[in-house]
Amino acid sequence: MELKVLDSAPDKLSVEVHGETHTLLNVLTEYAWEAKASQASYVIDHPYLSTPELIVKSKNPKKTLSDAAQMIIDRSKDFKSAFDRAVRK
């Protein structure tokens, strides 16, 4: 995965996310909303010909996106623990 910051303002962050699709971007936007973003969305103009762009607006969009990523990590660890317990039974 490669990221390219397109716009970095105090209240808005736009990032190209090379090599990813709806799967990751949808999860990131959902958790950005949980992290108190005032706007969290992404655009993929064409699934095969364009690079997805993630847009986050908040009081501190870098922190919001970092918090969202950490929430995904934490939730994934919770799932793994629950899954490991479930398959041991």
Look at phi and psi of residue 4 and say left if phi exceeds 0, alpha if psi is from -120 to 50, else beta: beta
Q: What is the pTM of this model?
A: 0.89
The pLDDT assigned to 52 comes to 96
Q: What angle do CA 49, 55, 59 make, to 5 degrees?
A: 170
Instruction: Give the architecture-level CATH label for domain 2-88.
Output: 2-Layer Sandwich (3.30)
User: CA geometry: angle at 8 spanning 72 and 19, to 5°?
Assistant: 50
Residue-by-residue pLDDT tens, the chain, 89 positions: 999 999 999 999 999 999 999 999 999 999 999 999 999 999 999 878 899 999 999 999 999 999 999 999 999 999 999 999 999 97
Rounded Cα–Cα distance for residues 19 and 12 (Å):
22
pLDDT at 56: 98
What separation in angstroms does the CA of 34 have from each of 31, 71, 87? 5, 9, 30
